[in-house]
Chains A and B, each alone.
Chain A
Amino acid sequence: MTNYGMVIDLERCIGCHACAVSCSQENNVSLDQQWNRILTEGGDSMDTPEGKYPEDGRDGTLSMNHLPMACQHCENAPCVKVCPVNATYKRDDGIVAIDYDKCMGCRYCMSACPYNARVFNYDEPETLPAEGTGNVEQREQGVVEKCTFCSHRVEEDLDPACTVACPADARIFGDLDDEESTVSRYINKYETDQLLEELETDPNTYYVRGDMTPGRKRHGNELEGTEKKEVGNPDGVATDGGESE
């Protein structure tokens, strides 16, 4: 069986927000929402550090990290269990999906999700350009939506848009059930944690923190085990920012 998951290497994340931008672009996300957010672990504002600036030759204490956040695609997904009408469900391949034609907009899933990964279309979705972007149909007003692991791309054997967009190779997408996949090898090799582990949601998204993860070997332009599957979407349009053209 396939069980898709993601590893996000926080030692590699440079906080550039490219994954968030490409997510909104690829998935036609309204401008008042983001499925994929890059949080700053540091100061009170985005991209600011906490601590003191080094003065008078002393050591400073400045520190800042970034935490990319999106749907964690939990094994024990509370949102799936609360959905009264089966609109949110766990697919056989591990992706937590939403049937936008069934969702009645009760927002119980939003209160169930401890990660605040879900957004609701309070307003008519608004995009620039107005006719939409990317390769996913616009969702209606009045339904809940969230990260789908780019299921439309995964079904075409492509990596999610965020994974492709990451210039630091901090995101790795793959099959957690396959012991040989890069995600599995990463989880086995490095210390990884799942967000809010104590809530027992058992996310399919793992974060690598702590000691610097050694660089993976390069094969030509690619890092070991992370050949990016990026071209070949249904419309034949590149979603990698045009790099492959």
Chain B
Amino acid sequence: MSTRRDSGVVVPQFGTRGKAWLALLGIVIVAGLAAWGYQLSRGLAVTGMDNVFSWGLYIMLFVFFIGLSAGGLIISSAPKFFHSKRYDSLAALGVLVSLGCIVVAGLLILPDLGKPSRVTGFLTSPDFRSPMVWDFGIVLLYGLFNVGYLWLLTRRDLAKMGSQLAFGVEDTPAGRERDRKLAFWAAAVAMPLAIALHSVTGWIFATQIGRGDWFNPLVAPMFIMKALVSGLALLLVTAIVVDRVTRFRMPRELVPELGKVLGIFVAVHIVYLVAAERLPHAWAANFEFWSITSAFLVGDTVHFWLWTVVGGAVPIALLAVPSWRRKVGVVFAASVAAIVGILFEGVYLIFTGYRDLNIDASPGVTTGTDYTGIGSDVWATVGSYTPTLIELLVTLGIVAVGAMIVTLGLRFLPVQPGGRKPSAVEAGETEKSDAETPPDAAVADGGYVVDGTDGDRR
């Protein structure tokens, strides 16, 4: 009789740290709900948004989490599509992380609405010209697909450990073989679905003529690339943390391997695509060689520098050196930097759209938020935005929901394929450098401290 332990559940039960982590998430979620309640009672006036800068933190992070949701699905589905077992050890964890992210992204739309109860309008009177309707459909589809795909990847192991989540599926060799075929077809759906998700989210912005640089055919390819960067980086960060705090074992040789892939993604995104986007503008708007060069290379906002230096130059430097990228800590740091960079790319994108008005003659536009009495100045000629505490709390609460999903997934789903010897048995990986993490010994001695923390702070 198989037990949970060797079916691949990496957190057989929550320890003290695990419970503390869950409690923390619970508190953050409750605080977020309370903040949202306050926002509902007072209206969006309690946010930092106004009539000029009419999308803020919620949409910036919506874009960010859409991107983050890419990594797991791509890493798990791309090899399966080519009938490879590569990265199998990360497949279920990856889809779990994708699911958490897409839930966060979807939920982030709700507090952005002035009338959240009318969100049903997406179903009752959709206008199919609206990129937001396309996005609503694809986010929903993508979320549901993630649930189904995650179940497909884990259901035989769930059956093996007698979990009710198997929903009557039996663990048989024939069944596993059939699932392998099904996984190929699921992968064949997953990749176009992921590409569609990121493109459509990009087109929400790229179709808009009224907001400066948004109207740019490169936005959709940029979204795909930044989804690959941030998604893979998040998967690496999560896998490294989960490896450390749970029974999950990430094969060590995947660290430099995926680190290299991440470095290539960052290079394509930050070096190539950003250059491709900026050069024509810089060239057309300037005359001298050096002014073209500086307009091309020098950004004008702090978000730009956070994006290209923290999210670009730093990870590329860290990952380019072979001996560095063999170090887990270095890959971890590079991944965090890449994630931070992509976060600020989203911020940068929103700011480029809202900072300048097309017609900015004074007195400008009424802000809709500044009336305090006769004589108050309700006008603005440039967009400015600082998120409020309420927005931060609501956002953190929603992110905590995603972390909760991942945590519970680690507790109840066998994310380690083939039980406790994933890399050797299932994924065909050789465990050559496992001095630091001898899973067998740890499990065998039964004294391994098990915690539910995944530390997955994204």
Contacts and interface: CB of A to CB of B under 8 A. Distances in A.
Interface of A: 30-34, 37, 39-46, 48, 67, 69, 78, 81-87, 102-108, 110-116, 118-124, 126, 140-144, 195-196, 199-201
A40 B364 CA distance: 9
Given A104-B121, A113-B210, A141 B132 contact: no
28 contacts: A31-B371, A32-B366, A32-B371, A37-B364, A39-B364, A45-B362, A45-B363, A78-B209, A81-B130, A83-B130, A84-B121, A84-B130, A102-B125, A104-B118, A105-B118, A107-B112, A107-B114, A120-B51, A121-B368, A122-B50, A123-B368, A140-B115, A141-B114, A142-B114, A143-B114, A195-B359, A196-B358, A200-B209
What DSSP secondary structure best describes chain A's contact surface?
Answer: loop
A86 B132 contact: no
Contacts of B207: 82
B205 to A, nearest CB: 8
B309 to A, nearest CB: 28
B43 interface: yes
Interface residues of B, number: 55
Contacts, number: 179
A33 B113 contact: no
Contact of B358 (A43, A84, A116): A116
Contacts of A122: 43-45, 47, 49-51, 368-369
A108 B366 contact: no
Contacts of A83: 127, 130
Interface in B44-87: 44-45, 47, 49-52, 54-55
B31 interface: no
Nearest to A34: B366
Contact of B210 (A30, A44, A107, A112): A112
B392 interface: no
B362 A43 contact: yes
Which of B124, B133, B208 gathers most chain A CB within 10 Å? Answer: B208
Contact of A39 (B44, B45, B125, B363): B363
Contacts of A40: 361-363
Nearest to B129: A81
B363 A78 contact: no
B209 A199 contact: yes
A85 B125 contact: yes
Given A116-B358, A122-B43, A143-B114, 16 more contacts: A32-B370, A34-B378, A37-B363, A67-B359, A69-B359, A81-B130, A82-B129, A103-B114, A103-B115, A106-B112, A107-B49, A108-B204, A119-B368, A122-B44, A123-B43, A201-B209
